[in-house]
């Protein structure tokens, strides 16, 4: 194996975290902001890119950095290495929002898994975190993730986030499902992913579900989330009272009451 071989356990129900066991000189890499806790004897280092050492020379490293910028991620990741010579040490990473952590053993998916840009949590050292360009114009313009998705390559373990409840669909050859574009977590490399217009004047104007579906055609495995972070954030923003005034929240007369609030000027 080119990737470090790690053991893990996932804890929790709705707000999960993954605890990873590292033997001496084993390491795991993670996106910034996912770290939760670690044992004594583990060293934390900021590294350029994913630390997989796939790129050769300055130009290769700069190209790798440019790819991470396109996905909206930082140029740097954090590596956690067990420097202790006295056995196993543990490090934990937490999901950034309510949902599930999905373990992805890349050896079961022929060394490649494609996911949305903000789904990646952490992976064994040696797993390459790159980008997957869409070759279809419709998918790029209307797919919610643009022309670019993330791809995880290698022969180790990786972990991705799914908001809300996760559904795993195993598609037979030619079998197709339609999914809200924001609800896709990831899929295996043989799945054909495209965008389909919903159609119908009423659906388009009054449907409230957007104008496009994502169509995923088998064979392959698809992971779907019930609560995309963008949807959660939208609901939170829409519930914030205008002007930051929370008085009368939940009341039918809340808006009328604001007219008589002492902070308003007439």
Whether 2 is in a domain gets the answer no
| Residue 23, CA distances (Å) to 4, 6, 73, 249, 262 in order | 10, 8, 29, 53, 63
- pTM across the whole model: 0.78
Domain count, the chain: 1
Task: Classify the C-alpha dihedral 168-20-227-215 as positive or negative.
Answer: negative
Q: Give me the CATH number covering residue 155.
A: 3.60.160.10
Whether 149 is in a domain gets the answer yes
pLDDT given for residue 257 in this prediction: 46
Whether 75 is in a domain gets the answer yes
Tell me the pLDDT of the chain (266 aa) as tens digits.
678 889 999 999 888 999 999 999 999 999 888 999 999 999 999 887 666 655 555 666 666 666 656 656 666 789 999 998 889 999 999 988 889 999 999 999 999 999 987 889 999 999 988 888 765 545 545 544 445 788 999 999 999 999 999 999 999 999 999 998 889 999 999 999 888 776 555 545 544 455 678 889 999 999 999 988 777 777 778 778 766 555 544 444 445 445 444 445 44
What stretch of H or E contains 35? Answer: strand 35-38
249 touches 241 (CB < 8 A):
yes
Q: Residue 151: which residues within 8 A CB-CB, separation 6 or more?
A: 112, 113, 114, 115, 129, 130, 131, 132
Range of the domain at 103: 7-239
Is the bond leading into 67 cis (omega within 30 degrees of zero)?
Answer: no
Take residue 137 and report the two structure tokens written for it. 């114009």
pLDDT given for residue 85 in this prediction: 83
Whether 250 is in a domain gets the answer no
Whether 96 is in a domain gets the answer yes
pLDDT given for residue 177 in this prediction: 94
Whether 198 is in a domain gets the answer yes
Whether 116 is in a domain gets the answer yes
Whether 245 is in a domain gets the answer no
pLDDT given for residue 46 in this prediction: 87
């Amino acid at each position: 194996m080119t990737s470090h071989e790690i053991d893990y356990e996932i804890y929790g129900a709705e707000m999960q975290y993954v605890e990873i066991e590292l033997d001496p000189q084993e390491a795991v890499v993670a996106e910034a902001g996912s770290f939760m806790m670690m044992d004594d004897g583990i060293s934390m280092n900021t590294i350029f890119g994913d630390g997989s050492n796939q790129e050769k020379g300055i130009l290769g490293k700069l190209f790798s950095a440019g790819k991470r910028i396109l996905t909206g991620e930082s140029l740097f990741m954090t590596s956690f290495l067990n420097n202790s010579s006295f056995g196993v040490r543990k490090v934990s990473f937490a999901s950034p929002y309510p949902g599930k952590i999905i373990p992805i053993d890349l050896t079961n998916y022929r060394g490649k898994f494609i996911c949305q840009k903000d789904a990646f949590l952490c992976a064994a050292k040696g797993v390459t975190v790159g980008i997957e360009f869409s070759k279809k114009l419709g998918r790029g313009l209307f797919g919610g993730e643009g022309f670019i998705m993330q791809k995880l390559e290698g022969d180790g373990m990786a972990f991705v986030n799914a908001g809300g409840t996760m559904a795993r669909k195993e598609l037979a050859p030619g079998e197709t499902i339609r999914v809200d574009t924001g609800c896709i977590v990831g899929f295996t490399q043989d799945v054909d992913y495209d965008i389909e217009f919903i159609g119908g004047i009423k659906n388009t104007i009054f449907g409230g579900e957007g104008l496009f579906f994502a169509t995923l055609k088998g064979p392959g495995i698809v992971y779907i989330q019930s609560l995309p972070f963008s949807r959660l954030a939208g609901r939170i923003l829409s519930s914030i009272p205008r002007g930051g005034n929370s008085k009368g929240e939940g009341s039918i007369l809340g808006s009328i009451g604001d007219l008589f609030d002492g902070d308003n000027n007439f």
